[in-house]
Structure 1
Amino acid sequence: MPKGMNQKFKLYRLAQIMLEKTDEDHYITMPEILAALEEYEITADRKSIYNDLRDLEVLGIEVEGEPVGNRYHYHVVSRPFELPELKLLVDAIQSSRFITERKTNALIRKLEKLVSKYEAMKLQRQVYVSGRIKTMNESIYYTVDAIHNAISENRKIRFQYFQWNVKKEMELRHKGAYYHISPWGLSWKDENYYLVGYDSNAEQIKHYRVDKMLHIQMSEEAREGKEHFKKFNMADYAKKSFGMFGGKEQAVKLLVENSLAGVMIDRFGKDIMLIPADEEHFTVNVDVHVSNQFLGWIFSLGEGVKIVSPPQVVEQMNQEIARQAQKYNGNAGAE
């Protein structure tokens, strides 16, 4: 038999051919395998290919041969990810606001390489979510990585923080001064990624929108605030914050119509106690960061929810209602 060309690439190309051209529903014959190798200027005999197909198992690629008529059909029978799993990943990437459009497409193309060319077509799907607006900050992909690195190395980070102005321009906050924060975790809340960290100057836990962070740098200083995070529950923190806006954490008692039980459970979890108040209502006690966003959420539920206590939160709601009423009453008759 003539010695095949490019033999050192043969096993690699064979793996590439099998992974790209076969799956549970698509097979390839031995003549087709040999022809595909020839496209890479690799010649081989059948016997060596049989051995190579067995060797692919060492690489984690399991190939199965099935007799069909007078010849065998070969295909890959297992992969690291199943197609439904990859579809979920694609959907999550496409629906995530904090990943830019360009990075979204690049990530999906990489995921497509994990399946055959036939299944890759099924990953080219669009997830349409009402009001979905992708971030314009291309650096977020690397900002998240830098935050994780700082956490693993127990270091502080420095970064600039911006907001959008009415001219749709990035406007640095604090006149461009760098924030110096001890990162302790990341939270995904209300379609945005947030850094949760400790501000040593303010001596308190704060959070920052990751897509609004710029020019992140790892500091030489060790992180601070460990004592504040010993019993800190990241998921609980996000659950108590409405729109991730700050506010004093307080225990609030609500009177809620029975029809809104699902709304309470969706927002605060199944561990809350729904205590019957009468045939049509129940009460529930929740720990929340009381902010205008929380009051707005209560207001959006209309007559179905009422704040019962504490008195200072009830008063906050009354003041906010009066303030809004005055604002719109002041516009009465305006054209």
Structure 2
Amino acid sequence: MAERMNQKLKILYLMKILLEKTDETHSITVQEMITALASYGITAERKSLYSDLESLRTYGLDVIGVQENRNYYYHVGNRQFELAELKLLVDSVQSARFITARKSAELIHKIEGLASQYEASKLNRQVYVTERVKTMNESIYYNVDSIHTAISENAQIRFQYFNWNVDKEMLLRRNGGYYEISPWALTWNDENYYLVGYDSSETKIKHFRVDKMLHIEMLPEKREGREVFQEFDMAVYERKMFGMFDGREENVKLLCDNAMAGIVIDRFGKNVPFLKKDAEHFTMNVKVAVSRQFFSWVMGLGSGIQIIGPVWVVDEMKEEIRRLSKQYLQENQHESGITGSDKKI
């Protein structure tokens, strides 16, 4: 009975064998197919296999047969995903900080199943190109699914939110109290996944790192803030935020060296007008969330970019520079701030 059932599955196992054991540089003969099917408890004759191969072609599998001397060699040509595309998927999974190391390994193993066993070994090497910091919150995989479900069902959610403390322990915000948010979008920014939603208690848009969310529950209440998000543009929102840190929004005027054109286009897009200042400089006006992260971005570009307005933003930039100078340039910092036990050997 079991043997008869296996025979009914013959064409499915034949497709499995072809997908696993062949690609554009690896082929198998009909005799090798017969041997491989036998390992699954299935008997096959040459004539029936020729018919099965033709059925697989009709189904849409790109089975290619090439004659060499007296033998025909068969392999699968075009696949749903090319090897280069699978490498991109693997590297994206491996690079994503919001996916834990364990879940990354599981996803990559599934992606390898889309390639032949020979191509899968190349994908396996791709995994170890570089080591990257990964999130430690294993529930993120399911957090994303819960948020998508709430968005599709137009429902509010509640959750707890945490930060890491100096002892590398989860420290719940609000003393463990729950946040109640209307979820409207998910975005991947600065190598992290963020929920963007509406907080009706503060009547404002907020964002939260998904890997720092715990115990997400869908609420019976419908989402609020629809009128706010009707005019919401995720691309504009992300450009305003630096490292996804909040700050007071302001139209800031920047003076830029011409050499900085590519950098500001990468940051703010091509639609921001450049106004020629002189032969070597241009100015631009951009809306940003003014924060220390924004100031750090400007300072990181050295003399290439300067904030020239409005006055309060320039003053805050000066204050940030003074703060950093005080932090690093105090006369007695070396003696008072570094003990013998702190010195590197």
> Which residue number in structure 2 is paired with residue 43 of structure 1?
43
Alpha-carbon distance in 2 for matches of 1:128, 1:276 = 44
SS of residue in 1 equivalent to 2:166: coil
Question: How far did 1:333 drift?
Answer: 5.0
Alpha-carbon distance in 2 for matches of 1:23, 1:55 = 19
Please say which of residues 134-143 and 49-58 is displaced more in the overlay: 49-58
Q: Which amino acid aligns with 2:112?
A: E
Question: How far did 1:302 drift?
Answer: 1.9
SS of residue in 2 equivalent to 1:318: helix
SS of residue in 2 equivalent to 1:6: helix
Q: Which amino acid aligns with 2:133?
A: I
> Which residue number in structure 1 is paired with residue 275 of structure 2?
275
Alpha-carbon distance in 2 for matches of 1:129, 1:29 = 39
> Which residue number in structure 1 is paired with residue 23 of structure 2?
23
SS of residue in 2 equivalent to 1:25: coil
Question: How far did 1:212 drift?
Answer: 0.3
Alpha-carbon distance in 1 for matches of 2:109, 2:92 = 14
Question: How far did 1:12 drift?
Answer: 1.5
Question: How far did 1:190 drift?
Answer: 0.9
Alpha-carbon distance in 2 for matches of 1:260, 1:245 = 23
What is the identity percentage for the equivalent residue pairs of Structure 1 and Structure 2?
Answer: 57
Alpha-carbon distance in 1 for matches of 2:242, 2:27 = 52
Tell me if 1:126 matches 2:127: yes
> Which residue number in structure 2 is paired with residue 227 of structure 1?
227
> Which residue number in structure 1 is paired with residue 153 of structure 2?
153
Change (3 A) 1:306 1:194: same
Q: Which runs of 5+ in 2 are unaligned?
A: 336-345
Question: How far did 1:267 drift?
Answer: 1.1
> Which residue number in structure 1 is paired with residue 339 of structure 2?
none
**CA deviation vs aligned residue, 1:198-228 (integer Å, no higher than 9, x gap):** 0111111000001100111111111111001
Q: Which amino acid aligns with 1:232?
A: F
Contact 1:4–1:43 (CA under 8 A) maintained in structure 2: no
Alpha-carbon distance in 1 for matches of 2:219, 2:111 = 34
> Which residue number in structure 1 is paired with residue 315 of structure 2?
315
Question: How far did 1:126 drift?
Answer: 3.3
Matches within 5 A, 1:1-12: 6-12=6-12
Alpha-carbon distance in 1 for matches of 2:32, 2:333 = 80
Tell me if 1:243 matches 2:237: no
Change (3 A) 1:248 1:58: farther
**CA deviation vs aligned residue, 1:68-87 (integer Å, no higher than 9, x gap):** 11121111112111111111
> Which residue number in structure 2 is paired with residue 176 of structure 1?
176
Question: How far did 1:330 drift?
Answer: 4.3
SS of residue in 1 equivalent to 2:44: coil
Question: How far did 1:293 drift?
Answer: 1.0
Ranges of 4+ aligned residues in structure 1 off by more than 3 Å: 57-60, 126-130, 326-334
**CA deviation vs aligned residue, 1:245-273 (integer Å, no higher than 9, x gap):** 11122111100112222211111122222
Q: Which amino acid aligns with 1:66?
A: V
Alignment RMSD: 1.7
Alpha-carbon distance in 1 for matches of 2:20, 2:81 = 14
Alpha-carbon distance in 1 for matches of 2:145, 2:11 = 34
Change (3 A) 1:37 1:279: same
Q: TM-score normalised to the size of structure 1?
A: 0.94
Alpha-carbon distance in 2 for matches of 1:162, 1:54 = 58
